[in-house]
Amino acid sequence: MSENIKNITITTLSKAWATLSEINYDYQFTNGSWKRVSRESYDRGHGTGILLYNVEKGAVILTRQFRMPIYQTNKDEGMSIEVCAGAIDDNDTPEATIIREVEEEVGYRITEVKKVMEAYPSPGALTEKMYLFVAPYSDTMKVHEGGGVAGEHEEIEVMELPFSKALQMIASTEIRDAKTIMLLQYAQIHGLFGGENRE
């Protein structure tokens, strides 16, 4: 692949929160021609997400919080229903990150998680890779009410929903977040709540 790209120049446009860059490069297309291409790339690091599930209850833990970029697009959709998630700090592993985020956001203390996929949520613009996990939870794991970290300006509503209801909320578009849809569909495909495909 590297032989098809040359003369890369990167200009930083903003470092206000994350890094927005303009990247110009020469790219060789399959017909052999070279063309100068310009793209913008937003680097906010990598992230994690997790579906917490309880087979006995037939339930999952989700969150609901305000998302300004969605609100900017559609004011009626500013409150987003999502799996618990968080950004990976420089020195953390994805596993350590999501275990910490689970306790901060939804108030459950878990010790083991299963990574089920890695995905780029918007590869045309974001460098971010999401590391996605599942883990069982029980009422005995709950250590506080959750809600996020006040110092990070988080206000997170914790939602315990029947798994069947969560799937219906995808169809009704109440759930629009990509990582949440992916993890709920993973649970359905792989039979985490029973069924022929149960692992």
Mean pLDDT over the full length of the chain: 94
Q: Is 16 left (phi over 0), alpha (psi -120 to 50) or beta?
A: alpha
Binding-site residue numbers are 85, 101, 105, 154
Q: What is the CA radius of gyration of the chain?
A: 19
Residue pLDDT, tens place only, 79-117: 999 999 999 987 899 999 999 999 999 999 999 999 999
Asked if residue 132 lies in contact with residue 178, where contact means CB atoms within 8 angstroms, the answer is no
47-189 is a CATH 1.10.10.920 domain: no
The model carries a pTM of 0.92
The domain spans of the chain are 2-43, 47-189
Q: Rounded to the nearest 10 degrees, what angle do helices 178-189 and 163-171 cross at?
A: 130
Confidence of residue 148 (pLDDT cuts 50, 70, 90): confident
Residue pLDDT, tens place only, 37-71: 999 999 999 999 999 999 999 999 999 999 999 99
Distance of alpha carbon 42 from alpha carbon 23, whole angstroms: 11
Binding-site residue numbers for Mg(2+) are 85, 101, 105, 154
Residue pLDDT, tens place only, 153-195: 678 999 999 999 999 999 999 999 999 999 999 999 999 998 6
pLDDT of residue 146: 86
